[in-house]
């Protein structure tokens, strides 16, 4: 039974039982506690916590949620049951059925025949576990389902009490296991061998709320949830493993094809060596997880989600290399995993080119890192051999890994090939310190679980009616007031308050568009609205200052949008749509929106793209955008279903969860058609001129364009014109000749600077020609310590030091030079001849010694090292310390 059929059977089973099917949410949700959705219940968290009433007719739902867990990336492939990406099939009850219902639903799906829509598993091979004191669940399994008591086992909190690992819903659980047979391990149930007895379904009896804590069983139970709920999670991959008759999740129809491709690309075979098998599994697992993350809009970066993706992709490349792959592999891996996953996720087909582009670009970048890292490793290995040692320091291996992204297992492999070892304990200690810092930083950044329950009354019973698409002023009623985080009945002058209205014309911040500004008035009372936020996608909360008078719950008021604000905001938001369309026309369909922010007169637009744009491309994008403005297209808005909107060709954004009814904004027919709830102009010409300020990188694979619209664009262009006129006047040339005149002046300046630099270098070399003859005799060494003239660069210091070292010839000579480069920095360099190195001189130690006196640091090889400091006053003391060091050598 193929995986997509397993998914369909699960969904159909629960839909027939009255559950509402809910599409998978994006892996990226706006939750401060989570990098990625890590459990099937995460999108339903507000309903479990009672912050919102579930919008499902029967109070039940079912979904197959995309999940990613990355806490133990290094462990992937070592076991054959865990994946970083997995599909969690779940059924949910919000105050409807509880333990008995959940157990019976699960049992019927697992054991009903294939002909009847079930999975057809043998009931005699199913075992269950329950929480230690959960007699109710144990009785249901035994008395209602008929499982013998000897196949019902009790486990403690670490195993059978579920939470997301962060504050939120939790409760005891009952897990269902499948006995794979004696060839997989010993008898005795899950307690005896959880490899033979594979967990396939976890039924969570969600009844409590947990507080802060670390680990699976070290947290506080804050109290009961408003209702007893059900949250279950069936591992789709594990069921596929059983129903397809394969040994592990890596050999199912989803992942085994990737392993087969990896065998074709490398010299290794799967199933021969354990170490190689781990690498094959890493390739398969990470290819899928990486692909799904890119699908949901993540791009490689150096922190957060981007760092996780980068790490996954680089582990694929590293593993393929260790298996013997000679070159590029990412394209074949990604194409293979997209083929296996598309039946379950059809949207992959529309994003195939973009996914490939992101993954292959990261591969190219990492292969360059490997090349430069190899050179750095060879330098480190040479230094170790020159010193007569056989072990590369843990600090050097860690620097290669942490600073240059060079994998430790490649360092170990190359060290072995060079006949060297690596101080693994030292490396592991530094890695442990880094992980501890990262965990502490991560905990510090978490905002905790935001308590939105104070808004629940209004979210559930009085959702705000937004009238702002048609009107800028409404007669409204105050249905709620908050001050200092608490509900109040009245507010007075001077207070910062939150106002909930039954109807409002003010747009709440969403989709990158800032909330409207405006006022609430009633007689002599005036509240200035500084921001509008949306709670639970239903409730508009107006953040305001009471500037005059006061307000009470129940008052009839007038809510008015600042007309100038709204006009300029609509211009900027509408311009964002046009720039997006122009980008795709110039760069192709892979240039997809990755984020945006617009406010009156200004917009910034982030998009997935791996290369910087040329001036010609930017000019073309700006021209296409303004041509669209000049076309005076009518801006049409259409409310329809999500499926119909996609069929029309409307673009949806990553990370957004859309309801059953969506709003399509169309400009110029197929030119621009997007799902969007923002406010827009009526005709494209109302946007006014659009001036692109420039573009830049904001992360690996993500670029950002900034632009002005309307009068802000006009003012910007006026300033640019005035600036050009000023430059033309200074050059005494017409504005059309300014670029050529500036280019000519720049060339002359470069030639003059080069001539001056050549003269300075010639003078410097002339001065240094006789330095070797002026060396002091110290402990058998020819020694020079000298500060050169101000303005001498680090490169010049190195040149002079090399010349002096060469002039020493066969002598044991040492030269240490420093200078002030004119920018406040103090570069310094140390060089030693072969004879000096043979006597134990290490230039790296000399620069470290000198650096300690001038607030600097540096390093290098025994014969040449350099560094930079900032305190020139310490140079003489530093030189004296260097001489003392040389004087103490035997």
Task: Concatenate the DSSP letters of all residues of 246-277 into one string.
Answer: -SSGGGSTTTHHHHHHHHHHSS--TTT-HHHH
- Rounded to the nearest 5°, which phi and psi values hold at 703? -115, 160
* Residue reference for tokens 């039982």: 17
**Which of 395, 243, 268 shows the shortest CA–CA distance to 320?**
268
Most distant CA pair in the chain: distance in Å? 101
Quick one: CA dihedral 411, 413, 419, 420, positive or negative?
A: positive
Q: Which two tokens mark 768?
A: 């240094």
- CA–CA distance, 469 with 277 (Å, rounded to integer): 59
Give phi and psi for 711, each to the nearest 5.
Answer: -65, -30
Closest C-alpha among 285, 265, 290 to residue 361: 290
Helical H segments across 37-193, by residue range: 45-48, 99-111, 135-139, 157-160
The residues facing 179 across adjacent strands are 197
Q: Would you say 134 and 172 are in contact if contact means Cβ atoms under 8 Å apart? A: yes
Print the SS3 string covering 93-135.
Answer: EECCCCHHHHHHHHHHHHHCCCCCCCCCCCHHHEEEEEECCCH
In the structure encoding, which two tokens stand for residue 740, read together?
């050529």
As a whole number of Å, the end-to-end CA separation of the chain is: 77
Q: What is the CB-side half-sphere exposure of residue 336 using CA atoms within 13 A?
A: 22
Structure tokens at 521: 């008035």
User: Which pair of tokens denotes residue 607?
Assistant: 């998009």
- Contact call for residues 878 and 854 (beta carbons, < 8 A): yes
Rounded to 10 deg, the angle between the 710-731 and 738-768 helix axes is 60
- Determine the Cα angle at 786 with ends 782 and 787, to 5°: 170
In the DSSP assignment, the letter for residue 832 is E
CB 63 within 8 A of CB 90: yes
Q: 90 to each of 40, 94, 558, how far by Cα in Å?
A: 6, 13, 46
DSSP per-residue string spanning 525-562:
EEEEEEEEEEETTTEEEEEEEEEESEEETT-EEEEEE-
3-state secondary structure of 671: helix
The contacts of residue 749 (CB under 8 Å, 6+ apart) are: none
Hey, is 815 helix, strand or coil?
strand
Q: Is 4 annotated as a binding-site member?
A: no
User: Would you call 723 helix, strand, or coil by DSSP?
Assistant: helix
Residue 682's Cβ-count burial label (10 Å; 0-12, 13-18, 19+) is: exposed
Q: Which of 232, 259, 256, 233 is nearest to 244 (CA)?
A: 256
- Residues sharing a CB contact under 8 Å with residue 470, sequence separation 6 or more, in sequence order: none
Asked whether residue 13 is marked as a ligand-binding residue, the answer is: no
Whether 215 and 225 have beta carbons less than 8 Å apart is answered as: no
User: Strand, helix or coil at 212?
Assistant: strand
Look at residues 347, 317, 341 and name the one whose alpha carbon lies nearest to residue 331. 317
Are 628 and 582 within 8 A, CB to CB? yes
Residues paired with residue 815 on neighbouring β-strands, in sequence order: 784, 831
Which parts are annotated binding residues for Zn(2+)?
Answer: 573, 577, 676, 680
Which parts are annotated binding residues?
Answer: 573, 577, 676, 680
């Amino acid at each position: 039974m193929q995986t997509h059929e397993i998914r369909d059977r699960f969904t159909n089973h629960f839909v027939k039982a009255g559950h509402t099917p809910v599409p998978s949410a994006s892996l990226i949700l706006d939750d401060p506690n989570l990098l990625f959705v890590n459990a099937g219940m995460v999108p339903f968290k507000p309903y479990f916590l009672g912050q919102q009433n579930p919008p499902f007719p029967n109070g039940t739902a079912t979904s197959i949620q995309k999940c990613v867990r990355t806490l133990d990336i290094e462990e992937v492939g070592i076991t054959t049951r865990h994946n970083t990406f997995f599909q969690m099939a779940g059924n949910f009850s919000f105050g409807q059925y509880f333990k008995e219902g959940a157990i019976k639903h699960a049992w019927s799906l697992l054991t009903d025949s294939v002909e009847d829509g079930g999975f057809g598993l043998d009931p005699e091979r199913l075992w269950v576990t329950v929480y230690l004191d959960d007699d109710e669940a144990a009785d249901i399994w035994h008395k209602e389902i008929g499982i013998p008591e000897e196949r019902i086992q009790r486990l403690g909190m670490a195993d059978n009490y579920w939470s997301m690992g962060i504050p939120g819903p939790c409760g005891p659980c009952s897990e269902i296991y499948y006995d794979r047979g004696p060839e997989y391990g010993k008898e005795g149930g899950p307690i005896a061998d959880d490899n033979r007895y594979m967990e396939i379904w976890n039924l969570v009896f969600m009844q409590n709320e947990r507080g802060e804590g670390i680990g699976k069983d070290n947290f506080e139970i804050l109290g009961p949830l408003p209702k007893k709920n059900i949250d279950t999670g069936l591992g789709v991959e594990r069921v596929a493993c059983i129903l397809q008759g394969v040994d592990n999740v890596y050999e199912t129809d989803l992942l085994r094809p990737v392993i087969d491709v990896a065998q074709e690309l490398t010299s290794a075979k799967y199933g021969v060596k354990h170490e190689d098998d781990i690498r094959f599994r890493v390739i398969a697992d990470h290819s899928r997880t990486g692909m799904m993350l890119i699908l949901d809009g993540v791009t490689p970066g150096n922190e957060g989600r981007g760092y996780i993706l980068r790490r996954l992709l680089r582990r694929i490349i590293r593993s393929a290399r260790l298996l013997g792959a000679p070159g590029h592999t990412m394209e074949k891996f990604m194409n293979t995993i997209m083929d296996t996953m598309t039946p379950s996720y059809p949207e992959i087909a529309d994003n195939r080119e973009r996914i490939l582009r992101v993954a292959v670009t990261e591969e190219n970048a990492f292969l360059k890192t490997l090349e430069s890292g190899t050179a750095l490793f060879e330098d480190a290995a040479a230094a170790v051999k020159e010193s007569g040692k056989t072990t590369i320091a843990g600090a050097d291996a860690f620097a290669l890994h942490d600073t240059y992204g060079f994998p430790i297992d490649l360092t170990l492999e190359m060290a072995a090939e060079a006949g060297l070892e690596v101080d693994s304990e030292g490396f592991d200690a530094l890695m442990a310190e880094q992980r501890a810092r990262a965990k502490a930083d991560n905990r510090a950044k978490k905002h905790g679980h935001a308590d939105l329950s104070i808004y629940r009354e209004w979210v559930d019973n009085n959702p705000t009616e937004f009238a702002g698409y048609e009107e800028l002023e409404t007669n409204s009623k105050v249905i709620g007031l908050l001050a200092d985080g608490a509900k109040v009945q009245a507010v007075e002058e001077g207070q910062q308050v939150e106002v909930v209205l039954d109807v409002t014309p003010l747009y709440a911040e969403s989709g990158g568009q800032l909330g409207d500004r405006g006022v609430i008035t009633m007689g002599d009372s005036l509240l200035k609205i500084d921001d509008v936020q949306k709670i639970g996608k239903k409730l508009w909360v107006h953040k305001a200052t009471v500037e005059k008078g006061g307000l009470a719950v129940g008052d009839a008021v007038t809510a008015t949008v600042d007309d100038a604000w709204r006009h300029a905001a609509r211009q900027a938001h509408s311009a964002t749509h046009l720039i997006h369309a122009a980008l795709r026309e110039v760069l192709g369909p892979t240039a997809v929106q990755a984020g945006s922010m617009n406010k009156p007169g200004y917009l910034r637009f982030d998009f997935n793209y791996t290369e910087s744009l040329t001036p010609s491309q930017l000019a073309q994008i700006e021209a296409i955008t303004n041509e669209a403005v000049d076309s005076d297209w009518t801006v049409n808005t259409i409310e329809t279903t999500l499926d119909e909107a996609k069929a029309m060709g409307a673009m949806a954004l990553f990370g957004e969860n859309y309801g059953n009814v969506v709003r399509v904004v169309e400009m110029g027919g197929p030119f621009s058609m997007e799902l969007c709830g923002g406010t827009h102009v009526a005709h494209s010409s109302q946007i006014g001129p659009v001036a692109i300020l420039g573009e830049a990188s904001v992360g690996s694979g993500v670029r950002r364009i900034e632009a002005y619209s309307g009068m802000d664009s006009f003012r910007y262009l006026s300033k640019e014109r005035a600036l050009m006129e000023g430059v033309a006047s200074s050059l005494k040339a017409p504005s059309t000749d300014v670029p050529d005149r500036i280019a000519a002046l720049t060339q002359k300046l470069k030639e003059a600077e080069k001539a001056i630099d050549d003269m300075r270098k010639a003078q410097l070399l002339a001065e240094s020609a006789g330095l070797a003859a002026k060396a002091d005799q110290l402990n058998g060494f020819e020694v020079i310590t000298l500060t050169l003239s101000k303005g001498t660069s680090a490169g010049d210091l190195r040149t002079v030091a090399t010349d002096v070292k060469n002039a020493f010839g066969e002598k044991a000579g040492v030269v240490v030079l420093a200078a002030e480069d004119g920018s406040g920095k103090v570069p310094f360099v140390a060089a030693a001849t072969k004879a000096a190195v043979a006597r134990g001189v290490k230039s790296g130690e000399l620069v470290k010694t000198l650096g300690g006196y001038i607030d600097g640091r540096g390093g290098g090889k025994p014969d040449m090292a350099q560094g930079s400091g900032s305190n020139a006053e310490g140079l003489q003391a530093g030189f004296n310390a260097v001489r003392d060091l040389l004087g103490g050598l035997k």
